[in-house]
Amino acid sequence: MRAEEARQIARHALAHQAEAVVDDVLMVVSELVSNAVRHAGGVTGFDIRVEADAVVVEVADASPRQPHSPGSPVHVPGGFGWLLVNRLTKHTDIRSGPHGKTITAYLAT
């Protein structure tokens, strides 16, 4: 799965949400899926659901390594995705296992 496909699924799931919520969710989806493809062996699972007080995004990948935000200088591209995800979400949860990890992000509705 690529980021564009995940964004299409998210747009469909968020059809009745405010534009600001949709924008934040699409950014988080893009970052998590792109990072899974680029750094973690690809996406092995994707889910999005709307709960009473949150949009929940789950992205599973093939690497047990935890995401991090390296202390890159501002002039070096990249390295800000995980920081951005954490700023846009209420909470994130990471579950690692021998075959990869699942990141669950909770965004306010």
pTM value is 0.90
Strand 100-108 to 54-61 pairing: antiparallel
71-90: average pLDDT:
75
User: Which pLDDT value is given to residue 70?
Assistant: 62
Which pair of structure tokens corresponds to residue 17?
A: 């949400």
Contact predicate 24/54, CB 8 Å: no
Measured on CA atoms in the order 35, 97, 46, 108, is the torsion positive or negative?
A: negative
Angstrom distance (rounded) from CA 69 to CA 91: 16
79-102: average pLDDT:
93
90's CB contacts (< 8 A; 6+ apart) are 54, 106, 107, 108
Angstrom distance (rounded) from CA 66 to CA 20: 28
* Ordered structural domains, the chain, with CATH: 3-108 (3.30.565.10)
93-102: average pLDDT:
95
**pLDDT tens-digit readout, 17-36:** 999 999 999 999 999 999 99
